[in-house]
Amino acid sequence: MSGVYAFFARIDRKIKSKNAVKLAKPVISVGNITWGGTGKTPVVIKLARLLSGAGKKVCVLSRGYKRKISSRGPVVVSDGAGILSSVEESGDEPMLIARSVPGAIVICGKDRGESAALALKNYNVDVFILDDGFQHWKVLRDLDIVCVNAKNPFGNGCLIPAGILREPLSELKRAGLIVINNTNFVRASELEAIEREIAAHCAAPVVRSALKAEYFARLDGSLPDARPKAAVLMSAIANNDLFKASVESLGVKVLKHYQYRDHFKYSEAEVSNALSGLPDGVPVIVTAKDAVKISRYVPKDSLSRVLLLDNTVEFNHGEQVWLSKIRETVRSS
């Protein structure tokens, strides 16, 4: 089956690459070579914040994976001044990006060339970020950033469905920068082995990052007076175990963890189940990605009992390389 997947992936690339468009502004792609969570979205957010902070008008182009309400054309999630769509129209990750980087334009749609044309026509865009763009062939880019999960970098080395690789590792040669995420959860010897494997397939510089738990915030926007001593967790992300580890690293005892698959569509039932029977002083903690999906189902009198944990990417090796690559790409394109 992996051979069948590889065959059709090559055909898809060949067809779509023929008419790939070169945009009038710099394009930076953030993607991965594996299926599942690699910390891509936090890297997109960090990149968008970096560029916005430098005075650039950023436009993030996303497919909007598993949107509940499908649209034939592009959907403007944010115009840089405010949120213009619902999470059902945009998908959870584009909405999270839009809320995390208020000044950025965020557009989702299957055809990112069409989304880019819309952005160039209506907004004064300085730079584009392709969210999950490593296997997107319709838009040419000036820099490909590939994220690797240190906890499970390449699985068993096989392509989908036998493994988690979306492409052979040899295709890392297209990358201009590799970001190894979640390095705070593995040993130094494991990181060195990952870097050797990467070096066997590409010459791109490698930077390391750790997942840093920044703060807890209530769904009503307020901050708790103190960090909770114990909590119930609820998450629907690719790496639920890493979320639990992040919470525990802050000294919070996890009483129970309701885990769902990535991009799971919550209903009132799951939220009600997590909130029911909570001991006094014990909150439900969710990820920022889950918070955008569940807030509509949380009763007003329970908003203060739901906390979101905001995680960010913090470079612990090679940050200057990251900064130089970004500046060089934006300046020279």
Q: How far apart are CA 246 and CA 309, in angstroms?
A: 9
Q: Which domains does the chain have, with CATH numbers?
A: 2-210 (3.40.50.300), 213-313 (3.40.50)
For the stretch 295-314, pLDDT in tens is 999 999 999 999 999 888 99
Q: How far is CA 216 from the centre of its chain?
A: 19
Handedness of CA 213, 195, 169, 321 (dihedral sign): positive
Please give the pLDDT value at position 284.
Answer: 97
Over range 14-19, report the average pLDDT: 74
Least confident of 104-113, 145-154, 210-219, 321-330: 210-219
Q: Which amino acid is at 193?
A: A
Q: How far apart are CA 90 and CA 99, in angstroms?
A: 12
Of the pLDDT bands very low, low, confident and very high (cuts 50, 70, 90), residue 258 is: very high
Q: Which helix (H) or strand (E) holds 214?
A: strand 206-218
C-alpha atoms less than 13 angstroms from C-alpha of 49 in its C-beta half-sphere: 12
Q: Which of 246, 301, 251 is nearest to 278 (CA)?
A: 301
**Which DSSP letter does residue 261 get?**
-
For the stretch 49-97, pLDDT in tens is 999 999 999 999 999 876 766 667 899 999 999 999 998 889 889 999 9
Please give the pLDDT value at position 225.
Answer: 83
Over range 309-322, report the average pLDDT: 93
Q: How are beta strands 306-317 and 206-218 bridged, if at all?
A: antiparallel
CB 130 within 8 A of CB 106: no
The helix-helix angle for 40-53 and 319-332 (nearest 10°) equals 60
Q: How far apart are CA 78 and CA 45, in angstroms?
A: 14
Over range 130-156, report the average pLDDT: 96
Q: How far apart are CA 208 and CA 195, in angstroms?
A: 10
CA angle 262, 263, 268 (to 5 degrees): 115
Please give the pLDDT value at position 310.
Answer: 84
**Which DSSP letter does residue 158 get?**
P
β-bridge partners, 105: 59, 79
Q: How far apart are CA 7 and CA 293, in angstroms?
A: 36
Please give the pLDDT value at position 74.
Answer: 94
Say yes or no to pLDDT of 266 above 70. Answer: yes
Q: How far apart are CA 92 and CA 90, in angstroms?
A: 7
Over range 229-252, report the average pLDDT: 93
pTM: 0.88
Please give the pLDDT value at position 25.
Answer: 97
Of the pLDDT bands very low, low, confident and very high (cuts 50, 70, 90), residue 263 is: confident
Q: How far apart are CA 281 and CA 103, in angstroms?
A: 36
